[in-house]
A = this chain, B = another copy of it.
């Protein structure tokens, strides 16, 4: 994977870049819709392409449980399985093991856990996490990390962060060995070149632990770096502080990915702090719950006031939904519990996120990202 910083905003740390992966280019900053179970909920591949989605995130945890990473590998890899020929980033499963599964048995070697689906027992080690993601045919893999719930004590956080560093090192070594092994392609030929591997900075809300994690990961020389363990319940200003703290300790020439964040305003703030990549279920999950993003604030589409409303969700929005359908129709679909409600709301919300990112890229290219940021802060638009 090649990462190039094309230009930098002079007044913030925002950067405009480009990732080159085995499945094509990704312009950054980028927002990655979440396709947990090998599908961005309710979206066809055509619809995602029409929205100009450049890269998806899929969850190794969910896919190893169902249908199984070996099954997907036999079927030609995740890209073939879900008929998506653009890049895919997979997370390692760490976060889900610690948040979804039960009866975890954690030691230095890895974590034994029970499936949230059927209670079956599984084991994930740093090496296994790499193998699972390789079987899926991921373009960008994540290391296995130890994820704590918020709040966590300094003692717990330090212990967990150090375990994550050890696991990061083991992931990196296993990834390098696999990459060097002749006639042992990453994914049975599904991926034309080696996938990238990102380290993940942990350390909770403790600045010095975050710094230590970033510095030591940077020394391991990963192709990219993620900031994990944020947006888990801590106050927003604290989240921004941590991002601000971590950023300067990561190599400037490598992409930076803030995991699981966030609102459109969060994206703008984090981009100002030098973040390049994001994923979040917010646009898609909120869509299914009838929460629609607009430049003028959000709309809860089930409200009775939209019953007769002939206007689109956002008259300044150019998405397919706003060009064709009234709030009254979208409300009707939601109230009637129609599947099309999820489909149309998801198209609108993803368009909003991708359009916001697209505008941000333009502002950075014009070296006026500070103006966009000021606008966002003034409007207070789409707070969490």
Binding site for B on A (CB under 8 A): 37-39, 41-47, 66-67, 71, 74-76, 81-83, 307-308, 310, 320, 324-326, 328-329, 331-333, 335-336, 338-340, 342-344
Please report the C-alpha to C-alpha distance between residue A149 and residue B344 in the assembled complex, in whole angstroms: 37
Q: Which residues of B contact A335 (CB under 8 A)?
A: 66-67
> Which of the residues B37, B44, B81, B331 comes within 8 Å of A336, measured between beta carbons?
B37
How many monomers of this chain does the complex have? Answer: 2
Q: Which residue of B lies closest to A346 (CB)?
A: B339
Asked if B329 and A82 make an inter-chain contact with CB atoms under 8 angstroms apart, the answer reads: yes
User: Please, which residue of chain B has its CB at the minimum distance from the CB of A38?
Assistant: B332
Contact B344 A44 (CB under 8 A): yes
| Residue from the list B37, B46, B75 in contact with A328, Cβ < 8 A | B75
Q: A39-B333, A75-B326, A339-B343 are in contact. List 20 more A-B contacts (CB 8 A).
A: A37-B333, A37-B336, A38-B329, A38-B332, A41-B339, A42-B339, A42-B343, A43-B340, A44-B47, A45-B324, A66-B336, A67-B307, A71-B307, A74-B308, A74-B310, A81-B326, A81-B329, A83-B325, A83-B329, A339-B339
* In the complex with contacts A45-B324, A310-B76, A66-B340 CB distance below 8 A: no
If A324-B45, A325-B83, A326-B75 touch, whether A66 touches B332 (CB-CB below 8 Å) is: yes
Chain B minimum-CB-distance residue to A341: B39
Is A39 a contact of B75 with CB atoms below 8 Å?
Answer: no
Q: Complex: how many Å from CA A45 to CA B307?
A: 21
**Contacting pair B44 A343 (CB below 8 A):** yes
In whole angstroms, how far apart are the Cα atoms of A361 and B339 in the complex? 32
Closest beta carbon of chain B to A336's beta carbon, Å:
5
Cα A81 to Cα B336 in complex, Å, equals 15
